[in-house]
Every structure is written in structure tokens, then in C-alpha cells.
Structure 1
Amino acid sequence: MSTQETRLAAGDAELIIDPDNGCRITGLRIGGTELLRQGERYGCFPMVPWCGRIGHGRFLSGATPHQMPLNSPPHAIHGTGRDTAWHTARAEKSEAAFTYDLAEPWPYQGRVTQGFGLTGDSLTLTMGIETYSDSFPAQAGWHPWFLRNLGGEDVRIDFTPAWQEERGDDHLPTGRRTEPRPGPWDDCFGMPDGVDVTLTWPGQLELKVASRAEWVVVYDEQTEAVCVEPQTGPPNGINTMPRYVTPIEPLETETTWTWRRL
């Protein structure tokens, strides 16, 4: 546990953020009930400046090739933001903001800002990437580990995606879109009207994950937790669907989680 953790509170909701450990959420408690899997690799971490896997860690920026460390061989996964300490820009009772400057192994300069806003029944997360020099392709998103079980029945995941990205044997999207299939999943889905996924712990809590982002990865292959990851592009999208951060056009995204007792 970091000595620099930031705690936000609103109503009976409490949020704990550890800026030294990738600015991840280490706890979200509703009425004293923890919703996130505990452990230094879990909670909810930001995926930035890319989401999911980059095929073999290689990407192009224009015609310039770059190689990222293969932290999930044979690929690079989930960005570098989760592996660095962030600077606390602002911390109040129910709101906070943090920044970090992009650095090696990422080859471009830029600044990432992550914001948190807590109310008694919602959490809004924002993230932005900006540059004042070279343009570069980037993605941003979040990787929460929601506990599968809060002491009653297992969670149910409900959503209606427009398509599922076909996943190859290498865990990368093939570029083909298919009809959504039943789980278990480690898959990316397209939701062109925005991410809208509901997690229900029967008799306990309903939590909705919403975002203007159009892609969501759902991962439920572990017994302890399930992941619902809104992101600005699909895995390997930094190659297949590059979105450039430029001096006049930052990349901005947000997600809101709302909950109610059952």
C-alpha cells in the first residue's frame, strides 16, 4: 500500500486511489462492501497510451516503426501508465486529478491527465492525452477488476453489442466482425452508440458501466473477478485504426459507473 494514497468519499461510497502504483483505483466501497479485486495488479488501472495488446509490440507512427517491450509475450499489453508514478494535481473530498508525462519506453512526449469524480451513486473517470510537439497514435481506457461475487450469487453481465471482434489464436482481432457470441469471454465488442454494460449481483447491487467510447473488452475467464473495459479503440487498434494525438487535438475519453442497491 502506498503512503500517498488518495481517498475520496461521497454518501456511503469511498474511493481509494494509489498514484504511485499507476494511478490505479485500489478500492471502491459501497456501504462498506468492496467491489474491486484486491492486490497490487488489480483494482482498476488506466490503459494508456494504448489498450490491450499491440501485436509483437510493434507499431508505426506514420512511416516510423517503434518497438515496445514484450510484457505479455509475444505482445505488448495495456500501455505504460499503469507502471509509473503519477503526480497529484488536485485532491478534494470527492474529486481528484493526476498527471504523468509520457517517457521511455514510449517514444513520444506528451502528458496524460486522469480525473476522478465521486458521488453517492456514481463514479466518473476522465482521461486525456495531449502533446505540444510530435503527433503520435494513442489509445486510452480503463481495466477494472470487479469481484465476481460479493457474498451472494455471482455477478451477471448484460450488454447488447453491435458486433464482436473475431479473435485470432494470437489473441489479436483478425479484422473480421462477427455476431456476438456467448461467453466466457476475453473479447472486444463494438458498441457504436457508446459502451453500455450492466453488472448485476442479484439481491445486492446493480452497476452500469457507460462511456462515449465505442469499444469494450469483456474478460470473465477468471474465477475471482470479471473485467469490463471501455476503450477508445480495439486491441492492436494503434496499428489497425490509429487515432492521432496532435498539438491541436488531444485524445479525451471518459466512463461513468452508476450503481443502485437491489
Structure 2
Amino acid sequence: MSNHETSKTLLKAGDAELEVDPRNGCRLTSLRIRGTELLRQGDKYGAFPMVPWCGRIELGQFRNGGERHQMPLNAAPHAIHGTGRDTAWRTVSTEGHSAAFTYDLADPWPYTGRVTQLVELAPDSLTLTMGVETYDNSFPAQAGWHPWFLRNLGTGKDVEIDFHPSWQEERGEDHLPTGRRTDPLPGPWDDCFGMPDGVDVTLTWPGLLELKVASRAEWVVVYDEQDEAVCVEPQSGPPNGLNTLPRLVTPIDPLEISTTWSWRSLA
């Protein structure tokens, strides 16, 4: 593998700098605006793709027709966040303010196919696009992103989260949606919300920066139970959706999802 394929990719646009590490699950390891880091640092953090599923799969099992498949229980008793974050991706191209990455689906995922991620940086925004296509059989899949935004950027004031979902997925004791929808409840959250008009969540670090997470996807998980960071996760379906709301990837109908983070200075 060439150095081009193994090294981190650095993109710059205006006052924005983005670092992507294809070897570590093609995660965004750094996003700096005017020199201020927005993402929690560490090999497990940054912002990683969730693919070919998002959140938890109940007991790590899902069906495709008459076949039952077992995924590794990396959040026992469940499987969580897909396999893409644990995979080395290939750098396909780096051109100007954008870069493209890909990897082939493989064990423990039981189906063959390809995942791509396109990263496009602008001075005031970042657009991420992910696609899942099959080489052979149709299969259920999901895709999304799991960013760890720093709760505090050093200004002394924690981030504020503003969004207006249509409903909240009731979460059972097993951390899976029960199938019942409720009115949105106040945080703290580790919960999935429905936004049928598209994900639209605003993060505000008072006096410093406002960042909007937007997507045509209709599902978002918000997680703010840790002191260090908050997560706003646009995704193509709810947790355990491979079982409860399967979206098939077929030879003529690949899965595609995108999200745009746009920001403006408040300083």
C-alpha cells in the first residue's frame, strides 16, 4: 500500500482545516476553525462513519429473507455502529478541498459490496456523502456519522443544543427503541429522534461559534451524557433498524446519505 493510501489527508479552505485518517475507519480526526479544535481527540473519537449499520443491533442479529446473521457483540449483548470504523479505507482521490475514500465490505459482514465516503470542505461548511452498493446479493444496510463535538471550546461556556424533532423513539432498558414514539423529552439524551423534514440541529458555543448539522436523512441520535463531548448523529434509519425498518441495498438501488455542517463565527 502506498504512502498516499496510508497517510492522513489534510484539507484546508479559508480558516477551516480538516484531517481524515483512512486507516482508522476513515474518521475525521480533527476539524479546526480559526485554529480552534471542534472534535474530541483520541483514536476512538473525532467523527466516524457508521456503516453498514447505525447504533445497536439487538443481540447482534439481523435477518435478510430467511437468513439470520450474527455480528460481533462489541457492545454486549448487542452489536454497535457498524464495521466501517474498524476498517482501513483506501484514499481514492484528493483534489483541492475534497477527498474520496472507499473500502470493500468483508467479514464479519456477510455480503459483498463497496462503501464510499466523499469529504468536501469549504470555508464555512463541510459536506460528507456516503454510499453503500452491492456487488451481488441485496442486503439491508444503514449509514450515518458519529461526531464527537467538544462540549467546551475553552471559552468557559458549554455548548447548547437546539433542535425540534417531531418525535422521540422511546428507549427501553436494553437501549433499543421499543417501537413506541413519544413527545420529545428534555435531556440528557442517548436517544433517537425523528425529523421527517430532514435533520436540523444547531450547536452553539456562546460567544464563539454556531454550527448547524443538516441532512435530508430523517433520523438523528443525540448523545450528551459525557462531560467531554456531545454527539449529533444523522443516520439513514433508527437503531436496530436492520430489523425494524430494513432498507435494502440492491444492484439498482444503492444507499446514499449526506450531511452538511455549516458554521458562523459569533466572536
State the 1:3 CA deviation. Answer: 6.1
Match of 1:248 in 2: 252
**Equivalent residue for 1:157, pick from 150, 156, 161:** 161
Structure 1, unpaired ranges of 5+: none
Counterpart among 246, 255, 262 of residue 258 in structure 1: 262
Q: Which residue is equivalent to 1:175?
A: 179
* Aligned partner letter, 1:252: E
State the TM-score, normalized to the length of structure 1. Answer: 0.99
Equivalent residue number for residue 21 of structure 2: 18
**Which structure 2 residues correspond to residues 57-72 of structure 1 after superposition, within 5 A?**
57-72=60-75
Extract unaligned runs of 5+ from structure 2. none
Match of 1:30 among 33, 37, 48: 33
Q: In 2, Cα distance between the equivalents of 1:132 and 1:24?
A: 24
Q: Which residue type is aligned with residue 34 of structure 1?
A: E
TM-score (norm 2): 0.97
| Alignment check: 8 A CA contact 2:145 2:235 kept | yes
Among 210, 216, 224, the residue aligned to 1:212: 216
CA deviations on 1:50-70 (whole Å, 9 max, x unpaired) are 000000000001111000000
Name 2:108's counterpart in structure 1.
Answer: 105
CA distance in 1, matches of 2:145, 2:66: 29
CA RMSD of aligned residues (A): 0.8
Q: Using the TM superposition, give the Cα deviation of residue 132 of structure 1 relative to its aligned residue in structure 2, in angstroms.
A: 2.6
The residue number in structure 1 matching 2:43 is 40
Aligned-partner SS, 1:115: strand
What is the one-letter code of the residue matched to 2:163?
F
SS in 2 for 1:71: coil
Q: In structure 1, how many angstroms separate the alpha carbons of the residues matched to 2:201 and 2:66?
A: 37
Q: 1:23-73 CA distances to partner (integer Å, 9 max, x unpaired)?
A: 000000000000000000000000000000000000001111000000000
Aligned match of 1:56: 59
What is the letter of the counterpart of residue 38 of structure 2?
L
User: Which residue, out of 240, 243, 249, partners 1:239?
Assistant: 243
Contact (CA 8 Å) 1:8, 1:92: kept in 2 or not?
A: no
2:6, 2:22 within 8 Å by CA — same for their partners in 1?
Answer: no
Could you list the runs of 4 or more consecutive aligned residues of structure 1 that deviate by over 6 angstroms after TM superposition?
none
* DSSP-derived class of the 1:90 partner: strand
Q: CA deviation at 1:200?
A: 0.1
Counterpart CA distance in 1 for 2:66 and 2:220 is: 29
- Give aligned-pair identity as a percent: 77
Number of residue pairs matched by the alignment = 261
8 Å contact from structure 2 (residues 223, 231) kept in 1: yes
